[in-house]
Amino acid sequence: MKIRLKLFFALFFATLGMFAWHAPQVHAATTYTIGTDVTFPPFVYANSNNKYVGIDMELIRSIAKEEGFKVNIKPLGFNAAVQSLSSGQIDGVIAGMTITDERKQTLNFSTPYYESGIVMAVAPSSKITSLKGLKGKTVAVKTGTQGATYANSIKDKYGFKIVTFDDSDNVYNDVKTGNSAACFDDSAVLNYGVKTGLGLKIVTKPTDVGQYGFAVKKGQNQKLLKMFNAGLAKLKKNGKYDQIIKKYTGKAATTKTSKSNSEGSTFFGLLRQNQKAILSGILETLKLTIVSIICATIFGILVGLLGVLPNKFARGISTTIVYIFRGLPLLVLALFIYNGVPSLTGTKIPAFVAGIITLTLNEGAYTAAFVKGGIEAVDIGQMEAARSLGLPFGKAMGKVILPQGIKIMIPSFINQFIITLKDTSILSIIGILELTQTGKIIIARNLEGFKVWAIIAVIYLLIITLLTLLSKWVERRIND
């Protein structure tokens, strides 16, 4: 039994080590990891080639070129990007972030590079024309944005409720479907959206005008901040800055985007236009699933076996591990590992590795529970008979109990494999470009939320169906 446990531990840590070794290595000192929100056009979004473009992206790349450093863009979403910056996982954030006194408490900002106010948008058929019309209504906002801050500051005065979303598309769709009466967002973003076919109308003038800035964690990466300011000054002086603004906000830009969206508005058009991005998302999802299920299975079997050992301490460890990691929401666990742990240790954890650890702990806890249950489901007389024949506990477990218990566990293993595949979608919160995150990025560009999510849903169903058929085949072969 001890040899088997040692073998399991060796396999488990060898698997984790292998993928940690293949994880993205720490960049050289001249390369900075920059977090952003890729669902925020015209500042940041992915074009038809799945390349991140927009005012913010072109600014940071042009400044990097001017100042002689490189950037690695991390598509995290606005709220997650700010959290990752605070935990030290990334070096800076550029995502249309308004400079505020509150944010200055924890962040250092660059020289402002854009100015924008907050406006309110409603559905085209809405009769609401001012803030007074919001009384008793629900308003949609995006988590962590200045639009959300402004809405919260006036909600009591005008008597409306607030619902928050992590993505702009969900904010706008909530208004278009009638669940919310209006939404608040940056004027530059909503103006761009309206001109490119968003399907909303703006009914207020810009207010609570603020300035956008590039941010680093307070007291850190001051060299990067100085280079950004120096590069921005050079771009404004040589005319490059004005060219970038015009490129993404001028009539030609909005007309081109609107035309591109209309050409790719059918299901097949969307598939054809985004096939590379979707395929990449599928491969990342499968990679996460396979690696996680291997690690979770090894981890779960180890913890499950501890739960049936004739030792109170071992059983206590098993029960505690299962209780903790089965009780924690997967989203909370992912954010804790990716942002919380680095805050304490000062050591960065690559997103892929953080995702694998998250799924291993969560899915492994469930695996441990049914491994323990499967073993305990074997008639107790089997162990007693084996021990009466002189077999030690380890051999009795390996030769008599486990072969019977495995047959009981097989359906649960198959089910857990499918659950793990679906749970990978939650890892989009830490910036992993799996299938769900890919869908969000596509929607930010073409605003075809229903059609894109329908495509993503069908792909998940097809993959799960194929995996279920394969698992059933394996189950039949084992039981024959």
- The predicted-structure confidence for 288-297, as pLDDT tens digits, reads as follows 999 999 999 8
Residue 99: phi and psi, rounded to 5, are -80, 120
Per-residue pLDDT, 205: 92
CB atoms within 10 A of CB 16: 19
CA-based angle 264:446:168, to the nearest 5? 165
Whole-model pTM? Answer: 0.72
For residues 434 and 378, what is the distance between their CA atoms, to the nearest angstrom? Answer: 40
Per-residue pLDDT, 1: 46
**CA proximity to 145, closest of 179, 184, 88, 193:** 184
CB atoms within 10 A of CB 44: 25
For residues 162 and 40, what is the distance between their CA atoms, to the nearest angstrom? Answer: 20
What CA–CA distances, in Å, run from 203 to 197, 200, 213, 339?
16, 10, 27, 39
CB atoms within 10 A of CB 4: 15
Per-residue pLDDT, 256: 55
Per-residue pLDDT, 467: 79
Kindly state the helix (H) or strand (E) to which residue 121 belongs, with its residue range: strand 114-122
Per-residue pLDDT, 24: 46
Q: What is the dihedral of CA 62, 63, 66, 69, to 10 degrees?
A: -110
**CA proximity to 85, closest of 213, 211, 229, 218:** 218
For residues 458 and 435, what is the distance between their CA atoms, to the nearest angstrom? Answer: 12
Asked if residues 360 and 352 have their Cβ atoms less than 8 Å apart, the reply is no
Kindly state the helix (H) or strand (E) to which residue 343 belongs, with its residue range: helix 341-345
Per-residue pLDDT, 453: 86
For residues 291 and 14, what is the distance between their CA atoms, to the nearest angstrom? Answer: 12
Q: Enumerate residues 6+ apart whose C-beta is below 8 A from 393.
A: 1, 310, 387
Positions in the chain short of pLDDT 70: 1-29, 48, 252-265, 377, 379, 381-387, 390, 393-405, 408, 447, 475, 478-480
Taking 3-state DSSP, the helix, strand and coil percentages for the chain, each rounded to the nearest 5, stand at 65, 10, 25
In the numeric block, which tokens belong to residue 125?
């058929």
Burial class (CB in 10 A: 0-12, 13-18, 19+), 468: middle
Which string of b and e fits 224-250 if b means at least 16 CB within 10 Å? bbebbbebbeebeeeebbeebbeebbe
Per-residue pLDDT, 22: 45
Asked if residues 37 and 44 have their Cβ atoms less than 8 Å apart, the reply is yes
For residues 74 and 7, what is the distance between their CA atoms, to the nearest angstrom? Answer: 37
Per-residue pLDDT, 285: 93
For residues 356 and 350, what is the distance between their CA atoms, to the nearest angstrom? Answer: 10
Q: Enumerate residues 6+ apart whose C-beta is below 8 A from 59.
A: 94, 113, 232, 235, 241, 244
Per DSSP, the three-state class of 250 is coil
